[in-house]
Amino acid sequence: MRYLLLDRVAEFVPDSRVTVIKNITRESDVMEHHFHGFPLWPGCLTLESMAQAGGYLVIRSEVDVRGRWTLAALASVSRATFKHPVFPGDQMKIEAELGEVTPNSAEVTAIATVERVVVAKAKFVLVHRRLDPETNGDAIDYLTKLFNSFERKGGILA
């Protein structure tokens, strides 16, 4: 994944909520052009970080609670607001909460903060699809490694 916008999972409660950390660094290639001489983290990437946190929440909940792998993708965004800019050196904390879940979709509400100041809020709908371990083994292996890297300490998943 080219733009993996999560660094660490700080807290996870299946079928409920997740808290993730995204460190904003000057080394990110978007900082060179957004904006030259005044680096600013793009709001669309804040939104994408929030959606990725929601995707993690949906996928990981399916694994932990129901023992099945799914893949989640962003379907819609509503009520997105950006309150404050985010700069290199900031540590963004994203809290995502699961709302209504159907067999094919899940609602997620997310709030991003920097030093306890809200920088963005949004509501998402994610579509999700079950992965067959026989035909999607590579995707499941990739997600397991990815989640282990977020969760550190050897990973939570086997």
Q: Tens digit of pLDDT per residue, the chain (158 long)?
A: 467 899 999 999 999 999 999 999 988 778 888 888 899 999 999 999 999 999 999 999 999 999 999 999 999 999 999 999 999 999 999 999 999 999 999 999 999 999 999 999 999 999 999 999 999 999 999 999 888 888 876 445 54
Dihedral sign for Cα 38, 44, 50, 56, please.
negative
pTM of the model: 0.93
What is the CATH superfamily name and number for domain 8-151? Answer: Hotdog Thioesterase (3.10.129.10)
Q: How far is CA 154 from CA 21, 126, 151, in A?
A: 18, 28, 8
Q: Are 124 and 77 in contact (CB under 8 A)?
A: yes
Match 């807290």 to its residue by tokens.
Answer: 11
Domains of the chain by residue range: 8-151
Q: Are 72 and 122 in contact (CB under 8 A)?
A: no
36 is annotated as an active-site residue: no
Half-sphere exposure of 122 (CA within 13 A, CB side): 26
Catalytic residue among 34, 36, 84, 128: 34
